Amino acid sequence: MSALVLTLLRLGFLALLWIFVFSVVFTLRRDVYGTQVRDRRTLGKGRRAKSHARVPATKTLADANPRPRPSKLRQRFPRSPLPRDP
């Protein structure tokens, strides 16, 4: 192969690596800063609409299940000497 082909392959590989780096950075940025929530009722009302709040993209485990359920053994045998669930 000629030197020109090798140089072009190296530059193409370098460009591909930079595209990968930028895609990782944009994905992390989107995950950290969350998504923008828009209220459909105020979306078409122009500048008088409220500012849009930013919320995290994912819910935390505490939001999904705020209170632990008692174990099945505790439900069947409530007065057994098993240790209590927290």
Question: At 33, is the pLDDT very low, low, confident or very high (cuts 50, 70, 90)?
Answer: confident
Q: Tokens in use for 67?
A: 């209170």
Q: 34-86, pLDDT tens digit by residue?
A: 777 777 777 766 655 455 556 555 666 556 655 666 666 566 666 666 666 55
Report how far residue 25's alpha carbon sits from residue 50's, in angstroms, rounded to the nearest whole number: 30
Which of helix, strand or coil describes residue 36? strand
As a whole number of angstroms, the distance between CA 55 and CA 58 comes to 9
